[in-house]
Amino acid sequence: MDTALVKAGQQSYGQWVRWAIGMARGRQRQAVTFFDSSVPEPTELLRETVAGAFGGKLTPFYTSAFGGGNPFVLDMLAERYGVPRDQVLGTTGATGGLSILYRALARPGDHVLVESPGFDLFRDLAESHGLEVGTFDRTTERFTLDLDQIEGLIQPRTRMIVLSNLHNPSGMALDYDVLRALAAIAERRGVYVIVDEVYGDYADAAVRPCAAAALSPNLVSISSLTKIFGLGSLRCGWIVGSSQVLGLARDVSGKLEFGISTLSHAVGAHVLHDPAPFAAYSNGIIERARPLMAAWLDEQKRAGLVGGVLPEAGCIMFPRLLQIDDSEAFCTWLLERSGVIVAPGDYFGAPGHVRIGFAQHLDNLRIGLDALAEGLRSYPAATAAATLPKSAAASV
pLDDT in tens, the chain (396 residues): 334 334 435 579 999 999 998 888 876 667 889 999 999 999 999 999 999 999 989 999 999 998 899 999 999 999 999 999 999 999 999 999 999 999 999 999 999 999 999 999 999 999 999 999 999 999 999 999 999 999 999 999 999 999 999 999 999 999 999 999 999 999 999 999 999 999 999 999 999 999 999 999 999 999 999 999 999 999 999 999 999 999 999 999 988 877 789 999 999 999 999 999 999 999 999 999 999 999 999 999 999 999 999 999 999 999 999 999 999 999 999 999 999 999 999 999 999 999 999 999 999 999 999 999 999 999 999 887 666 554 444 444
Compute the distance between CA of residue 142 and CA of residue 174 in angstroms, rounded to an integer. 9
Angle (CA) 168 170 174, round 5°: 80
Give the architecture (CATH level 2) of 61-274: 3-Layer(aba) Sandwich (3.40)
**Dihedrals phi, psi of 393, to nearest 5 degrees:** -60, -35
Residue among 73, 45, 69 nearest 59 (CA): 73
Going from N- to C-terminal start, the domains of the chain cover 3-43+278-384, 61-274
Quote helix, strand, coil % in the chain, to nearest 5: 50, 15, 35
When the candidates are 3.90.1150.10, 3.40.640.10, 3.30.830.10, 3.40.50.2300, the CATH number that belongs to 3-43+278-384 is 3.90.1150.10
